[in-house]
Amino acid sequence: MNEVIGIIIAAVISWLNFVLIDTWMGLPEAPGVKGAEVIGRNIKKRGGDLAGGFFQGNIVCSPDASAGTLLASIGCYLIGTPEGGLIAAVLVFFGNRLCADPGYAGTTGALTITILIALTSYIGLTPIMFIAGMMIAILTIQGLYHPASSKLLGKIAQRMGRYTEIE
Amino acid sequence: MITEIVGIIVLFAAVRTLIAQDRSERMLYLNVIGFGMSALIALYIQTPFGAIIAITYFVASTLSSNAIAYSIGRVKDEIILDD
């Protein structure tokens, strides 16, 4: 497959993978670790959404599904398709516990992207495309304009019934 | 080509980090750099151990981000009595 098209498809798959799993695991509901609350409230102060801010704070402060997606892609690229993703999932699990994060978002994200990489290898997507795709996906959330991205994440959280009850 | 894409994203985030006004805002851009550095380590050290290094680097960087973000919250609550 053409590399550019492959990277774009991989970016969309990675974006959906980490946003849906993180929202489903309740990242926008509450700051899982102490630092996430500070970042979430700061994003709200700059004109963003509090639930989206907690989501972004949780991404910064603990390895969640976005980290799982990138690290499982790296594992699949350098170690091999199922086993590299599994090693990444175990290391992300240790990282969650080191950050005192009680959730399983990172481990779940790493396992689902490993399955997705294995399935999409049949249509010609390679793990290296997922590395670039995940970089583009994280740039759209964390690197462009935080008030807009937090509002989008807040809307997705509302749709999935995971909006924060903290004021 | 993959390395160039990741490199451009890291440079973009680095410039945004430099011009950002707010400390917490800077943490978000630094997080993008953390993702990018981890990807660059994997793309540069193309051995199975490179993957372990990249994963360990990323987990350790989130650990320190957590500590820094927490201390930013503490510093905001701090009352300076001297001035």
Candidates B12, B27, B51; nearest CB to A60: B27
Contact A99 B63 (CB under 8 A): yes
Instruction: Name the minimum distance, in Å, from the CA of A157 to any CA of chain B.
Output: 20
pLDDT at B77 over 70: no
In a domain, B28, yes or no: yes
Return the amino acid letter for B39.
A
Q: What percent of chain B has pLDDT over 90?
A: 57
Please give the tally of structural domains in chain B.
1
In a domain, B18, yes or no: yes
pLDDT at B9 over 90: yes
Question: If we measure between CA atoms, which residue out of A2, A3, A13, A8 comes closest to residue A118?
Answer: A13
> What's the pLDDT score for residue B76?
66
> What's the pLDDT score for residue B21?
82
Candidates B35, B56, B73; nearest CB to A135: B35
Contact A135 B63 (CB under 8 A): no
Instruction: Name the minimum distance, in Å, from the CA of A115 to any CA of chain B.
Output: 18
**Confidence category of residue B1, pLDDT binned at 50, 70, 90:** confident
Q: ipTM value of the model? A: 0.89
Question: To 10 degrees, what angle do helices A127-138 and A65-78 make?
Answer: 150
Contact A38 B70 (CB under 8 A): yes
Q: What per-residue string of b and e applies to B7-31 under the rule 16 or more CB within 10 Å gives b?
A: eebbebbeebbeeeeeebbbbbbbb
Instruction: Please check whether residue B26 touches A, CB under 8 A.
Output: no
Q: Are A141 and A59 in contact (CB under 8 A)?
A: yes
In a domain, B83, yes or no: no
- The residue among A25 and B80 whose pLDDT is bigger is A25
* Domain hosting residue B38, numbered range: 2-77
Is residue A1 classed as helix, strand or coil in its secondary structure? Answer: coil
pLDDT in tens, A102-161: 778 889 999 999 999 999 999 989 999 999 999 999 999 988 888 999 999 999 998 888
In a domain, B82, yes or no: no
**DSSP category for residue A25:** T
Mutate to test the interface with A, among B33, B66, B68, B70 (most CBs of A within 10 A): B66
CA-to-CA dists, residue B37 to A1, A107, B34, B74, B83, angstroms: 27, 21, 5, 28, 41
pLDDT in tens, A24-63: 888 888 887 777 888 888 888 888 888 888 889 888 888 8
Residue B6 CA to residue A132 CA, distance in Å, equals 6
Cβ neighbour number for residue B44 with a 10 Å cutoff: 10
pTM for the complete prediction? 0.90
In a domain, B15, yes or no: yes
